[in-house]
Amino acid sequence: MIRMILADDEPVITRGIKKLLDWKALGIEIVGEYEDGRKAFEAIVREKPEIALLDISMPGLSGVEILKECRAIGNGISVIFISGFQDFEYAKAALQYGAVDYLLKPVIREELLRAIEKSISVTGPGKAGNLETGRNKRNIEDAGYERLIENEETVYVTVYADIVYKKEEDAQMRKLIHFSLFSFLEEYLNETRQGIVFQKNNRIVMVLKGIEGGKAREVTEEICAESLKATGHTAFFVIGDAVRSMGEIPGMFGQCLERGGYLFFADKMTVPVINLHERVFGGRGDSHMLGEVRQKLFDAAVAQNEEQMKENVRQYGRLILRLSEGKKEDACFYFCSAVRFMEERCEALDLPGHKSEMKELLERSRECGSFGEMEAMFEQEFERFPDRIRAVAANSDKKDILKARDYIEKHYMENLSLNVLAEEIHMNPYYFSSFFKKNTGENFKDYVNRIRVEHAMSMLLSTDMKTYEIAEKAGFGDIRMFNTAFMKIYQETPGSYRKRVRESKGDN
């Protein structure tokens, strides 16, 4: 039999509709009559009828609101609207939400029969057997929403659940673990009567009933702890906002999925449960602080201080956690930028050694299954730099010249004199002058000016700063000194160089 409900706040209308047709002969069973829209919706969710005749205007929920709710939760019931003349335009507009037909009061027998036939053809071609198949299919699509129904209004909290897999687990093993978590949640929520769980596009969705605020987090953290005992795997949860309509659940789940990127960072959470709008990793952090820690990393490598390097890597990782905001790709970029910085500093100091291939490094980092794994991978990358520097530092003269170059690279913008640097290296200024030229091939003044010009070059091409401003920032005493040093290297003034390069790129 095809199952149908009637809903109208005027009992005389429902009684009249029951008498208009021989419903049993049509293979239709009327399983409920309702005068309230909310109770009619609850009956649709609970009883899963194939057809509903709904009044447009009812207390609790209107017919259109019922249809919207049904479509939002994936219930494909065939709806026929009944309306008074004053609701005529409203009823027509409601067809856009998927109503099969609308009938004006008083309902005419022939029109009702046509609407019923149309409903049957939409729901399943012609026969009750087909309709029964359709009804069973919807039992799956409706995901047990009937268990959320209560006699009074309540709230629903949507929770996205996932698993923190281990690196060695293959696809088949992950399917089994996924099934294990889903089965646990289904059993747990059945026993506690706290809500339901279902899957949408292979994603696990929990819906907690009558729980909101801090209580929702408390319940989810308890579920998280129990799931670990049951499955042996850490589960990850994103808690959505409380809503008062089942129709809002799919949209709220979509918002929870947007925070799903934090699954990659779950191994760094004390409890892998987050709220939709919370800041997951607290503390202060910005790109300027990243730059400072990158410099500390290199300084520790030069000083051959392995413990300090490890601490700097951990500090850099904590900053990345805050700045990435759940985006794995951002974390990859921040780590790779630190390696690139270290490579550039080594090149500036003419240090020998293998240069990292950034494309390969980025691809390897993308293959990491968790933030902890990515952090460990880059810690190994950083460990190569002390070895590169150690090969140079083993020679006393090379160690001193490395220290001098590093000091110049850090302080080129200051009033850097031969005496200042000689004192830093703990060497007699007169001896240091010849020592520097012997080990670099340049006298001290020319070397410093070249480093300053290289940094000035970057500002010339990437900013709109005035030439005299660049000269000052690069450490030159005045524009004349800047022009002289620049022309010695490039045989033209900074201004003409900037103009020529920009014109060649079409920047007029």
The string of pLDDT tens digits covering residues 334-388 is 999 999 888 887 877 677 666 777 888 889 999 999 999 999 999 998 988 887 7
Q: Name, in order, each residue with C-beta under 8 angstroms of 17's C-beta and a sequence gap of 6 or more.
A: 6, 53, 107, 112
pLDDT at 205: 94
Share of the chain above pLDDT 70, in %: 89
Beta strands 2-7 and 273-275, pairing class: unpaired
Share of the chain above pLDDT 90, in %: 33
Question: In this predicted model, what pLDDT tens digit does every residue of 139-170 receive, in sequence order?
Answer: 334 567 777 776 557 889 999 999 999 888 88
Q: Which two tokens stand for residue 182?
A: 């889903």
357 by Cβ neighbours in 10 Å (0-12 / 13-18 / 19+) ranks as: exposed
pLDDT at 123: 59
More confident residue, 236 or 358: 236
Q: Residue for token digits 């950083």?
A: 382
CA dist 399 and 402 (Å) reads 5
Neighbours of 34 (CB within 10 A): 23
pLDDT at 135: 38
Q: Say if residue 119's pLDDT is above 80.
A: yes
What is the pTM for the complete model shown?
A: 0.65
Are residues 33 and 15 in contact, defined by beta-carbon separation less than 8 angstroms?
no
Q: Which two tokens stand for residue 199?
A: 């899957």
Q: Could you write out the three-class secondary structure of 272-289?
A: CEEECCCCCCCCCCCHHH
Angle at 483 between CA 482 and CA 488, to 5 degrees: 100
Q: Say if residue 448's pLDDT is above 60.
A: yes
Are residues 205 and 158 in contact, defined by beta-carbon separation less than 8 angstroms?
yes
Q: Name, in order, each residue with C-beta under 8 angstroms of 254's C-beta and a sequence gap of 6 or more.
A: none
- At 343, give phi and psi (nearest 5°): -65, -45
The C-alpha R_g of the chain, in whole angstroms, comes to 36
pLDDT at 377: 93
